[in-house]
Amino acid sequence: MTTLPTERSVRTTPEGLRWEPSERWVRGYKGDVAVVDSRHPVLVWEPSLPVPQYAFPREEVRTDLLRPAKRPRTGRHTGSQIFYDLEVAGEEVPNAAWTFPSDELAGHIAFEWFGRWDRGLDRWYEEEEEIFIHPRDPHKRVDALPSSRHVQVEIAGTVVADTHHPVLLFETGLPTRYYIPREDVRLDLFDATDHSSGCPYKGRAQYWTWRGADDVPRNIVWSYAEPLAAVGPVKGLLAFYNEAVDIVVDGERLERPVTPFSEMLRTPT
């Protein structure tokens, strides 16, 4: 078996990859087939991606289900990799897995997560909890704190939310999100949409779109009906993208931040 240090410390490879061992039991399924069943995963951060991904020792992967990729997808990951197609029960998933070029990660295979590129495995678990979109970053915190701050939200000069009972969500690397009770939001100015998203820290969200004619991105408001336990206080509350609305906190108008979501909001959903 590949031997890795057990202490939690991040290493950096000559290729610019950051990685560290994880003690979590991670499993990945395609249909009912466990393609990955690993108690020795490694978290890997690529320079071009803001979130981590897992790589697994070959002996903890169903390598009998992998075939050399017929059409390797070059340029998507750091360095020169070997890509694999996955074949399960007659279904082929192109470029579902790959290896990193680093000697330090030799003997490991990484997999696409279903929520990133719409190809890969169907379900992932850390211990007995299903994880969505991408692995959780152990160096990231997400805290949901009830507050008595006075928060107002404006869109195109109209006050659409006004509350003294927000929940402030602090997430490493992102601006503070202000979750507001429904009774303090003018939901009559919005239409529910069929858009949804998943977050490994918070759960699955539903969205609303501004009904006005102004140049406002779609799906500007979201809510978690059944959030994960760690952010339970935001249940049923509504949040707005700071990047595209005006937020006033205790009389101070906040600057609109520039985040990875800024470009997404400029693209029609």
Return the pLDDT at 8.
Answer: 60
Return the pLDDT at 231.
Answer: 96
Return the pLDDT at 154.
Answer: 97
Is pLDDT above 90 for 170? yes
**Mean pLDDT, rounded, for 152-162:** 96
Q: How far apart are CA 53 and CA 110, in angstroms?
A: 8
Tally of CB atoms within 10 A around 54: 24
Is pLDDT above 50 for 5? no
How many residues are there in the chain?
Answer: 269
Torsion on CA atoms 218, 224, 230, 234, rounded to nearest 10:
90
CATH of domain 142-265: 2.170.150.40
- pLDDT tens digits along 30-51: 999 999 999 999 999 988 777 8
Task: Please state the domain extents for the chain.
Answer: 11-130, 142-265
Return the pLDDT at 67.
Answer: 95
Torsion on CA atoms 37, 231, 18, 4, rounded to nearest 10:
-40
Q: Is the pTM of this model over 0.85?
A: no
Return the pLDDT at 247.
Answer: 98
Q: Are both 11-130 and 142-265 of the same fold? A: yes
- pLDDT tens digits along 103-137: 899 999 999 876 544 467 889 999 999 888 889 99
What class is the 11-130 domain? mainly beta
Is pLDDT above 80 for 26? yes
Is pLDDT above 80 for 268? no
